[in-house]
Amino acid sequence: MAEDFPFEISPMFEGERIRKNDMYVELAGPKSVGFELVRASEMDNVEDGKFTLIGPDISEMEEGGRYPFAMIYKIAGELVEEDLESIVERRNHDFQNYVQGLMHLNQRYDVWVRISKEAVGKGMTSFESIAKAIMMLFKNELPFIEKVEAIYITDKDEIEKRLDEAKEIYKSRDDRTRNLHDEDVDTFYGCTLCQSFAPSNVCVITPDRVSLCGAINWFDGRAAAKVDPEGPQFAIPKGDVIDDMSGEYTGVNEIAKTLSSGEYDRIKLHSFFEYPHTSCGCFEVVGFYIPEVDGIGWVDRDFPGTAPNGLPFSTMAGQTGGGKQVVGFLGIGINYFRSPKFIQADGGWNRVVWMPKNLKDRVISDIPADIVDKIATEEDVSDLESLKTFLNEKNHPVVDRWESEEEEIIEEVAEKTTATTMPQMQSTMPMNFPTMPQMTGEGGGVKIILKNAKVSVDKIIIKKND
Ligand code: SF4
């Protein structure tokens, strides 16, 4: 299959990481600019197999350099329709990673590519060979594509000129699901592409929940399942509603059990804490619980700093990914912020306390007006103390939770003390959170969680439980 190319092509190279010291060039990524885009075109407008490069080729790039990079593919075929563009675009990620010595991360205008020194040494000196390999894979693996043409761009001005248009296209795709909701359909869609590196990941795409990578919405899933029902995107019959608020459905639970090989049997689509959606690693944003304020922060890939908990995106993404249900962390696609069901089981926007400024600005029109100024950014706070002060000053809704938790703790302590039993104090915050401060007594079973507590007791008698 790969004899015409100066590199090997195989799914076994997915997951290959190219470290800085091993890289010949870096393309696009967080410190540069770029995008990937697939456009459905008329048959007459696509010259099958044609490749165009605008800007310098690999052989003209300096070793160790960083360059802008855009990839545009025009596809045509009798079954090709606009709804398939996102699906094909997502496969560019897969197929680029099939190429030995090439690492492709993320999607849309967050793409980030590295080419290894070793690959260049073996002859990967032109983008043409890469583009031809990807076009071959598109046609082999996605038979509805009858013709494909590639345009790669490394000229910064040209990329910037075309980036706004690409963003408009992404936006119009995202906007399509605005007036459609989970209750309006009887079928959701699943995707298994990320199971190659996160085997227990169960990606469920609904009208109110875009995929974690942000690249596939409900319409895209439907179009893909229609043209290739045996492919990585497939229909999930919704089944019965178990709980509307948290988004739990019998059909989703059944598929969760099957896809995760029994590791999970429940997924609540709009819950942060209880049976949350699994997180593969492709998510655009990671949410993290901040026990100190009983709120949730969100950080995206582009944010270079640390969140108020002192952690950068990469550390929290490492903790969240792998296809697990990690209570206290949640990976999402940016468009999920626009969903009317956004973590509604856990308070929705009223539970959000921090976001990077750029991310907040991107979704600002979807944040309810009464909360928008109460969500801190890195411009308002730098650590947990200043976050707490900010939330207090703004009278953020989570502040009410602190007060009620305080009262509950005092009441519980009073009750237990009167009964002269072991004090067991717990707040209304989610249980079993991995980083929640807790003290476990000998013999197990004692959990003491004190948050902003003022506790005064005259006497505590601790007795051994016989
Ligand atoms: S995040 Fe989900 S929808 Fe996106 S490629 Fe991975 S499995 Fe598919």
Of residues 175 and 99, the one with the higher pLDDT is 99
Residue 443 CA to ligand 1 center (angstroms) comes to 44
In the chain, residues under CATH classification 3.30.1650.10 are 11-175
Cα(85) to centroid(ligand 1), Å: 15
Instruction: Please give, one letter per residue, the 3-state secondary structure of the chain.
Output: CCCCCCCCECHHHCCCCCCHHHEEEEEECCCCCEEEEEEECCHHHCCCCCEEEECCCHHHCCCCEEECEEEEEEEECCCCCHHHHHHHHHHHHHHHHHECCEEEECCHHHCEEEEEHHHHHCCCCCHHHHHHHHHHHHHHHCCCCCEEEEEEECCHHHHHHHHHHHHHHHHHHHHCCCCCCHHHCCEEEEECHHHHCCCCCCEEEECCECCCCCCCCHHHHHHHHHHCCCCCEEEEECCCEEECCCCEEHHHHHHHHHHCCCCCCCCCCCCCCCCCCCECCCCCEEEEEECCCCEEEEEECCCCCECCCCCEHHHHHHHHCCCECCCCEEEECHHHHHCCCCCHHHCHHHHEEECCHHHHHHHHHHCCCCCHHHCECCCCCCCHHHHHHHHHHHCCHHHHHHHHHHHHHHHHHHHHHHCCCCCCCCCCCCCCCCCCCCCECCCCCCECCCCCCCCCCCCCCCCCCC
User: What is the reported pLDDT for 464?
Assistant: 67
Q: Residues 5-31: what's their mean pLDDT?
A: 93
Instruction: Give tens-digit pLDDT for 411-424.
Output: 666 665 555 443 33
Atom 4, ligand 1: residue with shortest CA distance: 213
182-395 has which fold?
Answer: Ribonuclease HI; Chain A (3.40.970)
Cα angle for residues 180, 186, 187 (degrees, 5° grid): 90
**Which CATH topology does 11-175 take?**
3.30.1650
Q: Look at ligand 1, atom 5, and give the residue with the nearest C-alpha.
A: 193
Task: Give the Å distance between the CA of 325 and the centre of ligand 1.
Answer: 15
Residues of the chain with CATH 3.40.970.20: 182-395
Check residue 177 and give its pLDDT: 84
- Average pLDDT over the chain, rounded to whole? 89
Taking the centre of ligand 1 as the mean of its atom positions, its distance from the CA of residue 210, in whole angstroms, is 10
Taking residue 218's Cβ as centre, other Cβ atoms within 10 Å add up to 24
Residue range 118-131: average pLDDT? 97
pLDDT recorded at residue 410: 62
CB 90 less than 6 A from any atom of ligand 1:
yes
pLDDT at 456 (0 to 100): 63
Mean pLDDT for the stretch of residues 80-100: 94
- Give 250-295 pLDDT, tens digit per residue: 999 999 999 998 999 999 999 999 999 999 888 999 999 999 999 9
The residue whose C-alpha atom lies closest to atom 2 belonging to ligand 1 is 203
Band (pLDDT 50/70/90 cuts) for residue 170 is very high
- Confirm or reject: Cβ of 211 under 6 Å from ligand 1: yes
Highest mean pLDDT among 2-6, 216-220, 445-449: 216-220
Tokens of 158: 């040209």
What percent of the chain has pLDDT above 70? Answer: 86
Q: Which atom of ligand 1 has the smallest separation from the CA of 221?
A: 3
Q: Which residue of 14, 90, 94, 279 sits with most ligand 1 atoms within 8 Å of its CB, as the best mutation to test the pocket?
A: 90
CB-ligand 1 contact for 352 (6 Å cutoff)? no
pLDDT tier at 178, thresholds 50, 70, 90: confident
Pairwise pLDDT comparison (431 vs 179), residue with the higher score: 179
Mean pLDDT to the nearest integer, 5-19: 92
Segment 131-158 shows an average pLDDT of 97
Average the pLDDT over 131-152 and give the result: 96
Residue ID of nearest Cα to ligand 1 atom 6:
194
Tens digits of per-residue pLDDT, 406-458? Answer: 666 666 666 655 554 433 333 334 444 444 333 333 344 555 555 555 566 66
Answer yes or no: is pLDDT of 10 > 80: yes
Task: Kindly report which listed range (189-198, 338-347, 361-370) carries the lowest average pLDDT score.
Answer: 189-198
So what's the pLDDT on residue 231? 87
pLDDT at position 198: 87
Whether the CB of 91 sits within 6 Å of ligand 1:
no
Structure confidence at residue 327 (pLDDT): 87
